[in-house]
Amino acid sequence: MSLDWRRFVVAVDGSGQLRGCGQLKPHRGGLVELASIAVVPSSRNKGIARAIIEHLLAQAPRPLYLTCRSGLQPFYERWGFRVLELDEMPPYYRRLFRFAKVMLALVERGESMLVMKLM
């Protein structure tokens, strides 16, 4: 959804192999989202996601939003993100949250989607 490679930061290893990525994704109304944080499975737990996030946070406006699986809440709270209640969410995230809630209920993985914010 609205991917633009020019917004992405990538992490590569010494041989130039992609290890992780992330972006600051703009939305209508001036909202900005920390998005697309991904690390190759064999490179996880090595600080790559942390480095990508910290690099992006250094240039990100506030407030900054993100969506994630509920199991990642403690991970993002390290940087000060907090879970938003439905009535606190901008309209875009309310629509996304309602849609994801229906889809995740169909999958029944025991996870839910969170919308979080950093001031």
Q: Which domains does the chain have, with CATH numbers?
A: 1-61 (3.40.630.30), 62-119 (no CATH)
User: How far is it, in rounded angstroms, from Cα 88 to Cα 75?
Assistant: 21
| Tens-place pLDDT, residues 34-66 | 999 999 999 999 999 999 999 999 999 999 999
Query: pTM of the entire structure?
Result: 0.83
User: What pLDDT is attached to residue 105?
Assistant: 66
Percentage of residues in the chain with pLDDT exceeding 90? 73
Neighbour count for residue 74 (Cβ, 10 Å): 7
User: How far is it, in rounded angstroms, from Cα 88 to Cα 20?
Assistant: 31
